[in-house]
């Protein structure tokens, strides 16, 4: 069924009026920052018996940024999260005497997610029972159900979790080690990969994450590692995973490897497979010595002796996981996500060195990134310069407005229409961070903003009266949504819509400023 069949039309909001006012806002908002806001609101409620996490402790202060440009707290918090919830700005600002002290305290808090109480998010997601099923049991479920619950889980955690940096890094590594669920047994195995590979190591050790991915049954299926065998001297190994391991997962396309290295890595990885036909132990990863090329190999100038068997995999991963090219490739991607596109060279240098010095410790690497002047951006060169990808935009809109959701099919339909359906990118490179591929989705973003503000998305509920009451007036709500004082053009557009709260909120969420972070 086409996802667009469920999408709402603008029954109540004039298309001409909405687009006209949006154009007015665009005049003054092109350089602004539109950062969303995370929320499990104090006015939480029960969704037809499906508890979305009422949290009576969330009661403010509902402070808003007062500066004309995005301040340091808003900038930093927006970069390491999917957005601030209505009470977050006041809470974070209270962590330190100065903006910088508060921002640094928030970063340290987020770098230790295990210390952040997150029971509400856990209770919400536990209703998705397939997410915790052992690998073998996943084959007892229909693939459509598995994808639906996996996608809903990603959305719900991003919307409701207080461990925001952790969720941002889960999204980052999901793209870095992309697996399209439409290929073969990936339809069943990606659920386990998300849990046991990406989420288990998102803020841990990159070498351990890399090994978990290399021996993941889903990855062995997706990049054909399960068919990489050499039982006779004439049999040619399958090079698919070896090539992506070097190009996308570690060294990068300009990392200094050759086609000969790809072939030698493929030889090293022969013999690893996944049980797929047997009734018992289906999805189990195995090493089959009779299908492994046990001869000597040379990878990146290093000789790997014959007779190592399954330990060939360890030798390859040891060579590439902490290679200088890997450090630079990952540092570039991280700086692109958290600072700017293209990433500043000085920051990349610092982050790459921190990766090597810490032997691939992800938290240490991120801490070094967060200490760079480029990340703190004292001169506001990079603030509000990144276009939110569709997933980020939708999640930030839900969080900033305090909307409650079960992340059901209608919400997933919007992501599909915007081009970022979770776990469905068809190629191994993952969804792009660059903004150009996403510029064609702006119309669907406007449609989503209108439907959200007018409470016309099934299974999403927004209480705009409560939101306005907490912030006091429409201008403070605008400061909360935009992360700064509205410009004259934005203020004019908002005041023109002041008689209809939903229209004003739709204009704010659809504004160019909110679509950036």
| Dist. CA 170–CA 176, nearest whole Å | 10
Going by C-alpha positions, the residue among 90, 110, 223 that lies closest to residue 161 is: 110
Tokens coding 292: 């492994």
Give the pLDDT confidence score for residue 473 in this predicted structure.
Answer: 87
Give the pLDDT confidence score for residue 15 in this predicted structure.
Answer: 46
Which are the contacts of 299, defined by CB distance < 8 A and separation ≥ 6?
261, 264, 265, 268, 315, 316, 319
| Dist. CA 194–CA 341, nearest whole Å | 27
Give the pLDDT confidence score for residue 375 in this predicted structure.
Answer: 98
Q: What percentage of residues in the chain have a pLDDT greater than 90? A: 81
Place 354 in a pLDDT band, splitting at 50, 70 and 90. Answer: very high
Contact 43, 463 (CB under 8 A): yes
Q: Using the predicted structure, report yes or no on whether residue 288 has a pLDDT greater than 60.
A: yes
Tokens coding 197: 């590979």
Phi (first) and psi of residue 97, to 5 degrees: -70, -30
Helical (H) or strand (E) element with 299: strand 297-299
Q: What percentage of residues in the chain have a pLDDT greater than 70? A: 87
Give the pLDDT confidence score for residue 167 in this predicted structure.
Answer: 98
Higher pLDDT, 161 or 61: 161
Q: Mean pLDDT over all residues of the chain?
A: 89
Give the pLDDT confidence score for residue 499 in this predicted structure.
Answer: 67
Place 32 in a pLDDT band, splitting at 50, 70 and 90. Answer: very low
pLDDT, tens only, 74-108: 999 999 999 999 999 999 999 999 999 999 999 99
Give the pLDDT confidence score for residue 194 in this predicted structure.
Answer: 98
Averaged pLDDT, 262-268: 98
Tokens coding 441: 């989705």
137 exposure class (CB count in 10 Å sphere: 0-12, 13-18, 19+): middle
pLDDT, tens only, 305-315: 999 999 999 99
Place 62 in a pLDDT band, splitting at 50, 70 and 90. Answer: confident
Query: How many CB atoms sit inside 10 A of residue 281's CB?
Result: 10
pLDDT, tens only, 359-368: 999 999 999 9
Helices (H) and strands (E) in the chain, counts: 26, 8
Averaged pLDDT, 430-456: 95
Averaged pLDDT, 248-254: 98
Place 55 in a pLDDT band, splitting at 50, 70 and 90. Answer: very low
pLDDT, tens only, 105-161: 999 999 999 999 999 999 999 999 999 999 999 999 999 999 999 999 999 999 999
Going by C-alpha positions, the residue among 338, 391, 383, 398 that lies closest to residue 362 is: 338
pLDDT, tens only, 162-202: 999 999 999 999 999 999 999 999 999 999 999 999 999 99
pLDDT, tens only, 477-508: 999 999 999 999 999 888 777 667 899 999 99
pTM: 0.90
Q: Using the predicted structure, report yes or no on whether residue 13 has a pLDDT greater than 70.
A: no
Q: Using the predicted structure, report yes or no on whether residue 222 has a pLDDT greater than 50.
A: yes
| Dist. CA 500–CA 234, nearest whole Å | 74
Q: Using the predicted structure, report yes or no on whether residue 213 has a pLDDT greater than 60.
A: yes
Going by C-alpha positions, the residue among 428, 511, 484 that lies closest to residue 25 is: 511
Place 61 in a pLDDT band, splitting at 50, 70 and 90. Answer: low
Place 242 in a pLDDT band, splitting at 50, 70 and 90. Answer: very high
Give the pLDDT confidence score for residue 280 in this predicted structure.
Answer: 76
Higher pLDDT, 490 or 12: 490
């Amino acid at each position: 069924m086409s996802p667009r069949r469920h999408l709402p039309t603008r029954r109540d909001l004039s298309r001409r009026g909405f687009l006209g006012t949006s154009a007015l806002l665009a005049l003054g908002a092109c350089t602004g920052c539109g950062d969303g806001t995370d929320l499990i609101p104090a006015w939480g409620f029960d969704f037809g018996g499906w508890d979305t996490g009422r949290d009576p402790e969330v009661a403010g202060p509902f402070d808003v940024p007062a500066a004309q440009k995005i301040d340091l707290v808003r900038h930093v918090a927006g970069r390491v999260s999917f957005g601030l919830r209505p009470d977050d700005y006041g809470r974070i600002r209270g962590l330190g005497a100065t903006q910088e002290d508060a921002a640094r305290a928030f970063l340290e808090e987020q770098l230790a997610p295990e210390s952040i109480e997150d029971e509400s998010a856990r209770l919400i997601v536990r209703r998705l029972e397939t997410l915790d099923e052992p690998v073998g049991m996943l084959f007892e479920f229909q693939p459509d159900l598995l994808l639906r619950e996996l996608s809903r889980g990603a959305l719900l955690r991003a919307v409701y979790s207080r461990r925001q940096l952790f969720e941002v890094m889960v999204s980052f590594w999901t793209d870095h080690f992309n697996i399209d669920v439409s290929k073969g047994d990936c339809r069943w195995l990606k659920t386990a990969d998300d849990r046991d590979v990406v989420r288990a190591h998102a803020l841990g050790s990159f070498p351990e994450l890399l090994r978990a991915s290399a021996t993941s049954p889903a990855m062995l299926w997706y990049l054909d590692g399960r068919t990489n065998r050499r039982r006779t001297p004439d049999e040619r190994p399958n090079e698919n995973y070896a090539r992506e391991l070097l190009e996308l997962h570690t060294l990068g396309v300009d990392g200094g490897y050759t086609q000969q290295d790809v072939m030698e890595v493929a030889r090293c990885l022969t013999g690893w497979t996944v049980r797929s036909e047997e009734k018992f132990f289906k999805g189990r990863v195995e090493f089959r010595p009779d299908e492994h090329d046990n001869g000597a190999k040379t990878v990146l100038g290093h000789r790997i002796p014959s007779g190592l068997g399954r330990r060939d995999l360890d030798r390859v991963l040891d060579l590439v996981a902490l290679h200088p090219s890997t450090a630079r490739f990952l540092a570039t991607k991280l700086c692109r996500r958290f600072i700017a596109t293209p990433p500043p060279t000085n920051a990349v240098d610092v982050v790459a060195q921190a990766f090597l010095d810490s032997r691939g410790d992800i938290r240490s690497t991120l801490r070094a990134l967060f200490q760079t002047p480029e990340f703190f951006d004292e001169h506001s060169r990079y603030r509000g310069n990144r276009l939110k990808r569709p997933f980020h935009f939708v999640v930030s809109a839900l969080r900033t407005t305090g909307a409650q959701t079960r992340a059901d099919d209608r919400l997933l339909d919007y992501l599909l229409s915007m081009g970022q359906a979770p776990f469905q990118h068809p190629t191994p490179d993952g969804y792009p961070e660059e903004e150009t591929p996403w510029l064609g989705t702006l119309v669907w973003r406007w449609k989503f903003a209108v439907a959200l503000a007018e409470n016309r998305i099934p299974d999403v509920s927004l209480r705009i009266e409560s939101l306005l009451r907490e912030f006091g007036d429409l201008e403070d709500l605008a400061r909360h949504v935009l992360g700064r004082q509205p410009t004259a053009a934005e203020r004019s557009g908002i005041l023109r819509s002041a008689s209809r709260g939903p229209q004003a909120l739709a204009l704010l969420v659809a504004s160019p400023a909110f679509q950036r972070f």
